[in-house]
Amino acid sequence: MNIKFNNQVPTDREVVLGILNNSEEALNKLYAAYFPMVLQFILNNSGDEDEAKDVYQETIIVLYNKVKEGSFELSSKLKTYIYSVSRRIWLKKLTQRNKKTSNIADFEEVLVVDDDVEQHEQKDLQFDKMQEALENLGEPCKTIIQDFYIHNLSMQDICEKFGYTNADNAKTQKYKCLQRLKKLFFNN
Amino acid sequence: MREADLEAIIEDYLNDKLNTAEREAFEQLRKNDPIIDHKVVAHKVFLDAMAQYSTVVKLKEQLNYAHSQIDVDTLVEAYKPHPSKIVQLWRNNKAAIAVAASFLILAMISIYSIQNNSKQAGSFEAMSRDLAQLKRSQNNLIRNINSKNSSTNRTPVARYGGTGFAVSANGYIATNYHVISGADSVYVQNNKGVSYKVKAIYTDSQNDIAILKITDKSFNLPGLPYAIRRGLSGVGEAVFTLGFPKDDIVLGDGYVSSKTGIDGDTLAYQVAIPVNPGNSGGPLLDNNGNIVGIINGKENKTDGATFAVKSKYIMEALNAIPQDSLSRKVTYGKKSQLQGLKRNKQVERMQDYVFMIKVYN
């Protein structure tokens, strides 16, 4: 099993600085560098490539959040950290499916990353709540909210995009949408 | 103040978009009105969740883009579990296999060392009278040359000798397979010196047992005084044997010294009875006159280490013979008529049932 990753592996420092600077290039490099490792792990432990993708992306999000929070310390190799987080996430999924996790085929050394993964799970819960609330919000509210909060459009832009006669109408509409969304989000 | 305006102010406040005067006024308001304060806190939670959601959505978009740049199929091909079941099994169960293998190795080492420790230095020597007879025939030859007499009407001399014992009243005799193997013709001779021709009915080289049948149909014996013992003999149990190491019957007395034969052979006992060539095939009996085995050899380096095939294999051999041809066969697991008799009486009762085996080839 000595297949070289065909992409250049960025240095650990490069990755951390890249994330802090919102560098897309660094993120792409990071992604390409360690995906094969996680893919190999998942494929050899009763998963498929789609599951590998999900687990790997969750892992990158964990790393990303940790770096952004400033709590990521390069005490171990980034590779080991990514492997350990992916492994932890995958084992939890296997357990949820009632599959046995006693005979795990390992390819790298493993760190204890339970805390990081648990923190991530809390955040992921919030994410799912928000996503569900938005899904249940319906149009045009969903698009208005997404445009304002995610794509950072101004109320003026939204007013024009949706053809409201004046900005006040748009604001009222957004307010109604927001009230409903908050209700959905908090009462869920 | 309308709700919508309040909401807008809260949001601006949280996003730090109020000027200093507005902020102070709002903070005052917040301090005095717990309902407004609650709204601020709730909206902050919401905005944080929204911000995190927004970050993750954007990040996922980017990751999906990065993922699309990867040739996943090629990687899957390279990393998927090996098609060979064995390799896969090995990979999935490395730890378990390693543990199993170490146990196996440990077990093999211990078995090997036990065997080594218990290996007897000597080797097995079958107790037929082979060598003695050869020597004698050589002597005969020399005498012939010296005397220059014609030996044309001399009866052939038996090349081998052994012992056998009756297992039925109508002439079935048990002995060792090695006594009669390779024979052209086999005769048995009783204690009174009368010879009968026999043929081998059953042979078992594995357990070294042969069953012979006296061909003379008129041959008959009174009922057998001894029985075959069902259970195993314990170490230290007194046993005796009758045999023909010479032309007269000889009693050998001793005890069971081990429950296994040479090199731990579980088919046999080791008994401490001095035996000589010719004792092979002789019955081994306990004090009650039950047959516990057949003498079949000794260790060539240790005096008194004799081996005997266990009685249950005699029974197996007898069961292999058509039962209707055995008249009044030896009983199995029943009380022997020899029980309670003194040794000399036992020998007296038995000696008509023990035969010298003579082999010609």
Q: Do residues B317 and B205 make contact, with C-beta atoms less than 8 angstroms apart? A: no
Is residue B122 pLDDT above 80, yes or no? no
User: Residue B96: its chain A contacts at CB < 8 A?
Assistant: 103
Q: B199, B201, B226, B204: which is closest to B215 by C-alpha?
A: B199
Instruction: Give the pLDDT confidence score for residue B159 in this predicted structure.
Output: 65
Summarised one tens digit per residue, pLDDT across range A71-124 is 887 777 888 889 989 998 998 888 888 776 667 777 777 788 888 888 888 888
Distance from the B229 Cα atom to the nearest Cα atom in chain A, whole angstroms:
54
Considering only residues B335 and B308, tell me which one the structure prediction assigns the higher pLDDT. B308
User: Residue A127: its chain B contacts at CB < 8 A?
Assistant: 52-53, 56
d(CA A9, CA A30): 7
Is B95's CB within 8 Å of A149's CB? no
Instruction: Give the pLDDT confidence score for residue B284 in this predicted structure.
Output: 92
User: Residue A43: its chain B contacts at CB < 8 A?
Assistant: 76, 79-81
Is A105's CB within 8 Å of B49's CB? no
Mean pLDDT of A113-137: 85
What percentage of residues in chain A have a pLDDT greater than 90?
6
Instruction: Give the pLDDT confidence score for residue B283 in this predicted structure.
Output: 93
User: Residue A49: its chain B contacts at CB < 8 A?
Assistant: 72, 75-76
Instruction: Give the pLDDT confidence score for residue B160 in this predicted structure.
Output: 67
Distance from the B47 Cα atom to the nearest Cα atom in chain A, whole angstroms:
9
Is B60's CB within 8 Å of A61's CB? yes
Of B7, B54, B66, the CB nearest to A32: B66
Is residue A4 pLDDT above 70, yes or no? no
Instruction: Give the pLDDT confidence score for residue B86 in this predicted structure.
Output: 63
Q: Which of residues 79-138 of B touch A (CB under 8 A)?
A: 79-81, 91-96
Q: Do residues B243 and B163 make contact, with C-beta atoms less than 8 angstroms apart? A: yes
Q: What is the CA radius of gyration of chain A?
A: 21
Mean pLDDT of B216-220: 84
Instruction: Give the pLDDT confidence score for residue B294 in this predicted structure.
Output: 92
What average pLDDT does chain B have? 80
Peptide bond into B34 cis (omega under 30): no
Distance from the A131 Cα atom to the nearest Cα atom in chain B, whole angstroms:
8
B199 touches chain A (CB under 8 A): no
Confidence of residue B174 (pLDDT cuts 50, 70, 90): very high
Q: Do residues B190 and B165 make contact, with C-beta atoms less than 8 angstroms apart? A: no
Instruction: Give the pLDDT confidence score for residue A24 in this predicted structure.
Output: 87
User: Residue B95: its chain A contacts at CB < 8 A?
Assistant: 103
Instruction: Report residue B296: phi and psi, to 5°.
Output: -135, 0
B143 touches chain A (CB under 8 A): no
Side chain identity at B334, as an amino acid letter? K
How many other CB atoms sit within 10 Å of the CB of residue A29?
A: 20
Q: B176, B289, B171: which is closest to B227 by C-alpha?
A: B289
Instruction: Report residue B25: phi and psi, to 5°.
Output: -65, -45
d(CA B234, CA B237): 6
Q: A22, A92, A102: which is closest to A54 by C-alpha?
A: A92
User: Residue A40: its chain B contacts at CB < 8 A?
Assistant: 79
What three-state secondary structure class fits A68? helix
Is residue A6 pLDDT above 60, yes or no? no
B67 touches chain A (CB under 8 A): yes
Mean pLDDT of B250-255: 88
Is B63's CB within 8 Å of A27's CB? yes
Is residue B93 pLDDT above 70, yes or no? yes
Instruction: Give the pLDDT confidence score for residue B165 in this predicted structure.
Output: 93
- Name the β-bridge partners of B189: B195, B356
Instruction: Give the pLDDT confidence score for residue A188 in this predicted structure.
Output: 64
Is B54's CB within 8 Å of A171's CB? no
d(CA B190, CA B352): 7
Task: At A103, list the tokens.
Answer: 């005979």
d(CA B164, CA B185): 15
User: Residue A36: its chain B contacts at CB < 8 A?
Assistant: 75, 78-79
Of B42, B75, B80, the CB nearest to A186: B42
Is residue B142 pLDDT above 70, yes or no? no
pTM: 0.47
